[in-house]
Amino acid sequence: MKHSALRSSSGQVAVEFILLAAVGILVATLIAKTIRQETLLAQMVQGPWQYLTGMIENGVWGTSEKTRLQHPNYLRRHVSLKGQSE
């Protein structure tokens, strides 16, 4: 009796799925480990947040330390109690 090609590869799909799942888990683990070690997520959040704090605190785009003197309370306010003479 001859063995058909379909019968001889009956578990091939399951074996390939398990191997692909193992490789996928390995790659995901390595990527997560690299992100944690390099603190990439923290750098992506902290960099733009410094400029955003400058806008929130002082109303000017930039870091809060550099724009502190541009806060509206530091600006001179010119008030004239007399009207313009014509």
Rounded-to-integer distance, Cα 4 and Cα 10, Å: 10
8, part of any domain: no
Predicted confidence at residue 78, as pLDDT, reads 59
Please give the tally of structural domains in the chain.
1
Give me the helices (H) in the chain, please: 5-8, 12-38, 40-58
80, part of any domain: no
Predicted confidence at residue 22, as pLDDT, reads 97
33, part of any domain: yes
29, part of any domain: yes
Predicted confidence at residue 45, as pLDDT, reads 77
Q: Read off the pTM.
A: 0.46
- Would you say the C-alpha torsion 15, 20, 26, 28 has a positive or negative sign? negative
Domain that includes residue 48, residue range? 14-74
Q: Which mean pLDDT values do the consecutive 10-residue runs of the chain (86 residues) have?
A: 62 93 97 86 80 86 85 69 72
22, part of any domain: yes
